[in-house]
Amino acid sequence: MLVTLVWGLNFPITKLGLKSIDPFVLTGIRFALAALPLLFFVRRPKVHFGYVVAYGVIFGLGMWGVINYGIQVGVSPGIASLIVQLSVFFTMGWGALLFKERIGGTQVVGALFALMGLGGIISVQQGTHAVFGVLLIVLSAVAWSVGNVIIKKSGVKEIFSFMVWSSLIPPVPLFVIAWLSKGMTPFESLVDGLNRVAVVSIAFQVYLATHFAYWGWNSLLKMYPVSTVAPLSLLIPVFGIISSVLIVGEKVSSIEVGFILIIIFGLGIGLYRKVPVKGVEAIRRSSAS
């Protein structure tokens, strides 16, 4: 829940940084600082380096570069935090397809309720969002699900090291994209754009949203089935919308609150598990000791 809280807060806080910094430059700075100087003190993870490169590309460019660009072209941070949760369903599908994970009836029912809630909130949004921006956020949701699969497939045990080394991959491509799209303007305006708010935004994205949150999330993916961990991210839009209201002044209607409650209900159903009798006895013995 703490990880999802940080990620929810990250959307409006990123929006604050985007007010003065190009989205690709902002994302590039985020991952450059996530990699350096820690890269010189953290050993490379003991996995094939191809996994590190693949995750860096998917995570840095495919997910966050795309999300930040989508927010800049017109998608509000609260809505972005909602749309990206489509990754939950993509991830559960990948888990069943690639890892033969069983999707139980409760997970299906929970997913349906959560999907109803997400769809309901999106459907009642007022104002026009650029179709292109919405499609970008959907693309980032697909990228997140692929990133989850890469973590699971790699079998990496040094999660923090994996995050640091994979963060080295996206900065240069992101800076190149910024240069190709707008020339030197994003870089020339960077000094003026680095005001106090932007610095706080970058620090939050680097040390909380990247180092802490993804270390925690990927640790969960390492220990538990993908289809069990993925539904937890449905809390992100709840925190994302609430924090967007408080930080950037987004408006939330009573009907939207109702749909948020449906999401929480779906999450509760989807995560429900019956603990086997042996497991209960083991817990009791552990507690007694």
Residue 137 contacts residue 70 (beta carbons within 8 Å): yes
CA atoms within 13 A on the CB side of 62: 18
Residue 284: per-residue pLDDT = 38
User: What one-character DSSP code corresponds to residue 45?
Assistant: P
pLDDT tier at 227, thresholds 50, 70, 90: low
* Position 26 confidence tier, pLDDT thresholds 50, 70, 90: very high
Give me the pLDDT at residue 259, please: 84
Residues 76 and 244 sit within 8 Å (Cβ to Cβ): yes
Query: Which of the pair, 225 or 30, is modelled with greater confidence?
Result: 30
Q: Report which secondary-structure segment, H or E, holds 200.
A: helix 196-203
Reference 228, options 143, 134, 135, 110; nearest CA is 110
What pLDDT does residue 275 have?
Answer: 43
The encoded tokens of residue 129 equal 């969002």
- Averaged pLDDT for residues 6-21: 92
pLDDT at 77 over 80: yes
Whether 83 and 143 have beta carbons less than 8 Å apart is answered as: no
pLDDT one-digit tens code per residue, 31-75: 999 999 999 999 999 899 999 999 999 989 999 999 999 888 878
Q: Which residue has the higher pLDDT, 23 or 151?
A: 23
Residues 6 or more apart in contact with residue 94 via CB below 8 angstroms: 145, 146, 148, 149, 226
pLDDT in tens, 236-288: 888 998 899 899 888 777 887 888 888 878 877 766 554 444 443 443 343 34
Whether the predicted pLDDT of 231 surpasses 80: no
- CA distances 179 to 29, 35, 66, 76, Å, are 14, 21, 16, 25
Report d(CA 194, CA 179) in Å as an integer: 18
pLDDT tens profile 80-127: 888 887 777 787 777 777 777 777 777 788 888 888 887 887 777 665
User: CB–CB of 262/120 below 8 Å?
Assistant: yes
How far apart (Å, rounded) are the C-alpha atoms in residues 238 and 4? 9
Structural domain spans, the chain: 2-288
Q: Token pair 């997140």 is at which residue? A: 144
